Amino acid sequence: MLEIPYGMRDFLPHDAAIKRNIENVLADLFKVWGYDEVITPTVEYLDTLTIGNKNSMQRHMFKFFDKNNRTLALRNEMTTSIARLVSSRLQNEDVPFKLSYICKVYRYEKAQTGRQCEFYQAGVELMGNGEPTGDAEIVALAIKSMLKAGLGNFQVCMGQVAFINGLMQQWNLSAEEQKCIRTALEKHDLVKLEKAVSEAALTDDAKAFLRSLPMLHGDKTVLARAKAFAVNEQSRQALQNLQKIYEALQLYGVAEYVVFDLGVIRDFSYYTGMVFEIYAPGLGSPLCGGGRYDNLLADFGRKCPATGFALGLERLMLALKNQGKAECLTNNKENYVAYAAGHLAEAVEKAMVLRAAGEITELAGTAQKLAEAEAYCQKKGYVNLVYIQ
Amino acid sequence: MSAENMEYLTIALPKGKVFGKAAELFKKIGYTAEGLSDKSRKLIITNESKKIRFIITKTADVPVYVEYGAADIGVIGKDVLMESAKDVYELLDLQIAKCHLMMAVAKKAKRKHLADYANTRVATKFPHIAAAFFNSKGMQMEYIKLHGSIELGPIVGLSESIVDIVETGTTLRENDLVEYAFIADATARLIANRVSFKMKFARISKLTEALRQVVNSAD
């Protein structure tokens, strides 16, 4: 058997059908929520993709050179490409932009089930809306995406980057201390956090609160608990912002899926406000994530608030399989039209009528005896045999 | 993971040195199961009334089970955790199995500066940790991965130095080796799968708090 490169996969008909059907559901959903699809190139200049995200993503990118020796890279996510699009190609058009995509992205990482080096993302970006209602729309649409795809059991964890930034500011932590605490929170390394906090010049109350930050997880009482510590404007506003987003989510009727988690910090450094991740039981990593990134577009020369999410299609497929909800997304083979010698014309006509009605219909390749047609029909798993003689 | 897995809390414990101490800590907070022993032939030991499952694995496999979510939480030495570089949450320093990672060299052939060892051979069970350490010193080394009796390396001329964990230093002394550079402290840690930590937050945070109290009172 011929090999394929590391981290790549084939989708055979069964899985390809499930994937396509999920994509169709999501594409329709994004459309009716008023999001227009955009398509950007798979290959971009490395410099473009690393604007605003100067962290370690670079070493996870597939890179190569063009004829002029400029470094190219395969896109590792879509948000940056869409930010480029909005600030260059669409620069004369008015905000807000509501854009969606379903496409392949690439990351040079250890391949695992549900996350190969080449994988599919579906997502939306809302640019030009800085209000909590914008964030609520994004979270609500992410939840609806899960529900529409058929997923029943999942949880949304919502946090706020500005809350943690505000806290660090109000306590006058040095840049070095901030970095140390932030890395520990991001990696959820509570042992490192403990060490960093105990070495920082802070009151005992502040230390205790920082230590408890990753444990601030639960319903809206979490916000009340956090409020006592939010002294400066930034951290207080961050909590108010979460409160408002939550109220709007109640209007959408999806608040039951949301828990607060003030320790959630996503891997991408461009987030500035609300962040969220969606988890399903049995999946070792989040299947959807997103949040507000108000500064990224300014890096491309067009200052504009923005929020969005991306979901991993393979991970969603895996979660649906785990919950027994994938099989109903396969294609139901409906009709096999076979014919006795001399009846091709009627057979073609019949097949075309069935196909026009949207039924999956295969027409026999040649004239067959009834017994042959029955055997084939059974082997291929068609529900109905239409035999014309 | 099925609905059944949602109901149970699965705890991965490593065979060997850490097992007894870790099992004892869990017992103190009421998490145990009948027949829980690393000599057991059963690989999964369940406590039906408390909805807990223990799985007993080879040391290096604990972070793997936890990263994939086959186990919700686990106990593992910081040395193994660092070497595996797995994406798991580190919840608590259990203060058991205390030891540290270091570089050791043959006493007789000890060189004056660390830099004098640049471009020499290092025998180790921890090539990633060793490489991170030497890279941070700007040194390029040749790493020779061994699976046990690392101390043999410099004695038989396989390598100029070793990177290994040391508890008391007895083995080093008996083999005429001497500790040359400290790399990191290593104790056993409580780790959690990132999704389990969110989905089973109430149980895991309660367990972590209880363990923290036991660990602190032992100080």
Instruction: Determine the residue among B193, B195, B200, B209 to mutate to test chain A binding: the one whose Cβ has the most chain A Cβ atoms within 10 Å.
Output: B195
Best to test chain B binding among A107, A112, A183, A190 (most B CBs inside 10 Å): A190
- Give A52's pLDDT tier (boundaries 50, 70, 90): low
Residue A274 annotated as binding site: no
Q: What pLDDT, on the 0 to 100 scale, is given for residue A267?
A: 65
Q: Structure pTM?
A: 0.86
Q: Which of A190, A283, A322 sits opposite B92 (nearest CB)?
A: A190
The residues, any chain, with a CB within 8 Å of residue A140's CB and separated by 6 or more, are: A248, A249, A252, A254
CB-CB neighbors (< 8 A) of B198 in chain A: 155, 157, 217, 259, 261, 277, 279
* Cβ atoms of residues A111 and A6 within 8 Å: yes
Contacts of B195 in chain A (CB under 8 A): 279-281, 283-286
Cβ proximity of B110 and B180 under 8 Å: yes
Q: In what order do the strands lie in the sheet with A361-363?
A: A361-363, A335-339, A384-388
- Provide the 8-state DSSP code for B115: G
What percent of chain A clears pLDDT 70, i.e. is strictly above it? 97
> 3-state class of A327 per DSSP?
helix
- Give the dihedral sign, CA B118/B120/B125/B131: positive
* pLDDT tier, A17 (very low <50, low <70, confident <90, very high otherwise): very high
Cβ proximity of A336 and A360 under 8 Å: no
Lowest mean pLDDT among A61-65, A202-206, B57-61, B158-162: A202-206
Closest CA to A272 of A164, A127, A169: A164
What per-residue confidence (pLDDT) applies to B119?
94
Q: Which residue has the tokens 């051979």?
A: B121
For A138-145, what is the mean pLDDT?
98
State the pLDDT at residue A109.
87
A285 contacts on B by Cβ (under 8 Å)? 87, 194-195
Predicted pLDDT of residue B219: 65
In chain B, the largest separation of any two C-alpha atoms, in whole Å, equals: 61
Q: What is the pLDDT of residue A112?
A: 81
Nearest to B68 among A194, A280, A284 (CB): A284
**Closest-approach residue (CA) in chain A for B64:** A284
Query: What is the gyration radius of the CA atoms in chain A, in angstroms?
Result: 26
Q: Give residue-wise pLDDT tens across range A202-249.
A: 888 888 888 888 888 888 888 888 888 777 888 899 999 999 999 999
Residue A87 to residue A193: CA distance in whole angstroms: 38
At B1, the pLDDT band (50, 70, 90 cuts) reads: very low
pLDDT, tens digit (0-9, with 9 covering 90-100), for B57-77: 999 999 999 998 899 999 999
pLDDT number for residue B2 = 45
pLDDT at B151 over 70: yes
Among residues A99, A60, A62, A94, which one has the least CA distance to residue A81?
A: A99
Q: Does A135 touch chain B (CB under 8 A)?
A: no
pLDDT tens for each residue of A100-117: 999 999 999 888 888 899
- Mean of the pLDDT values across residues A316-337? 92
B194 touches chain A (CB under 8 A): yes
**The pLDDT of residue B189 is above 90:** yes
Q: Do A95 and A271 form a contact (C-beta atoms < 8 A)?
A: no
Q: Report residue A186 as tokens.
A: 């991001």
Alpha-carbon dihedral sign for residues A101, A284, A279, B78: negative
| H or E element, residue A240 | helix A233-252
Q: Token pair for residue B189?
A: 């840690």
Q: Which residues 6+ apart lie within 8 Å of A126 measured at CB?
A: A96, A97, A98, A134, A137, A138, A306, A307, A308
The pLDDT value recorded for residue B41 is 82
Tokens for A66, please give them: 């063009």
Please report residues of A whose CB lies closer than 8 A to that of B199. Answer: 155, 279, 281
Question: How far is it, in rounded angstroms, from Cα A128 to Cα A73?
Answer: 28
In tens, the pLDDT along A247-266 reads 999 999 999 999 998 876 66
Query: Does the annotation flag A334 for ligand binding?
Result: no
CA neighbor of A209 nearest in space, from A221, A222, A219 = A222
Tell whether A342 lies on the interface with B, counting CB pairs under 8 A: no
| Average pLDDT over all residues of chain B | 91
Q: Which residues of B touch A282 (CB under 8 A)?
A: 1-2, 5, 69
Q: Pick from A279, A281, A286: which is nearest to B5 by CB?
A: A281
Q: Which H or E run contains A161?
A: helix A161-170
Give the pLDDT confidence of B78-128 residue by residue, as tens digits: 999 999 988 899 999 999 989 999 999 999 889 999 999 999 999 999 999
**Is A35 one of the annotated binding-site residues?**
no
Q: Report whether A219 contacts A260 (CB < 8 A).
A: yes
**Is A361 known to sit in a ligand binding site?**
no
Q: Is A199 within any annotated ligand binding site?
A: no
pLDDT at A27: 98
What is the distance between the alpha carbons of residues A39 and A99, in angstroms, rounded to a whole number?
10
* pLDDT at residue B130 tops 60: yes
Mean pLDDT of A64-91: 93
C-beta atoms of A281 and B1 within 8 A: yes
A127 is in an annotated binding site: no
Give start and end residues of each alpha helix (H) in chain B.
3-7, 17-28, 62-67, 78-84, 127-136, 152-155, 170-174, 194-199, 201-218
**Across B11-20, average pLDDT:** 91
- What is the mean predicted confidence (pLDDT) over A351-359? 96
Q: In chain B, pLDDT over 90 holds for what percent of residues?
A: 71
Q: What is the pLDDT of residue A353?
A: 97
Residues 6+ away with beta carbon under 8 Å from B81: B63, B88, B90, B189, B191
What is the model's pLDDT at position B186?
92
CA-to-CA distance for B8 and B144, rounded, in angstroms? 41
Domains (ranges, CATH) in chain B? 3-97+187-217 (3.40.190.10), 100-184 (3.40.190.10)
Lowest model confidence (mean pLDDT) among A25-29, A173-177, A337-341? A173-177
Residue B115: φ, ψ to 5°:
-60, -20
DSSP string, A206-232: HHHHHHHGGG-EESTHHHHHHHTT--S
Domains of chain A: 1-153+280-331 (3.30.930.10), 155-259 (no CATH), 332-388 (3.40.50.800)
Tell whether A143 is within 8 A of chain B (Cβ): no
Sheet containing B73-77: give its strands across. Answer: B44-47, B52-57, B9-14, B73-77, B188-192, B89-93
Return the structure tokens found at A302: 């067009």
Average pLDDT value for chain A: 91
CB contact under 8 A, A280 and B189: no
The answer on pLDDT for B35 being more than 90 is no
